[in-house]
Amino acid sequence: MSLQPLNGHVLLRLVEAEEKTSGGIYLPDIARERPAEGVVEALPSGSSDELAIGDRVLYKKHAGEEVSLDGVTRRLVPEGDLLAKLVETDAIAS
């Protein structure tokens, strides 16, 4: 089953939180802070050319709604709540 976002929403696969700190300490699940970062899995029809499926994006901390599909948690986020697209440094125009 697939999900087609409507009304300007984007479907994101959430990026997992780090399991250990930079000092090497392993964190339990409840102590991990989930980053507000995801990978675009589906776009609404007629969306802008700025985003494509597979892009990594940052979104507002409490934006959108979590949905579970096929046992995987995803997030439906309005396009207006996306803050930035992560790109390779070579791809940034100067």
Q: What is the pLDDT of residue 17?
A: 59
Diameter over CA atoms, the chain: 45
Q: Which fold has domain 9-91?
A: 10 Kd Chaperonin, Protein Cpn10; Chain O (2.30.33)
pLDDT in tens, 31-67: 556 668 899 999 988 777 789 999 999 999 888 999 9
Q: Is the pLDDT of residue 19 over 60?
A: yes
Which pair of tokens denotes residue 63? 């934006």
**Secondary structure class of 91 (helix, strand, coil):** helix
Domain segments of the chain as ranges: 9-91
Q: Token pair 């250990």 is at which residue?
A: 20
Q: Is residue 77 classed as helix, strand or coil in its secondary structure?
A: strand
Output the pTM of the full model: 0.73
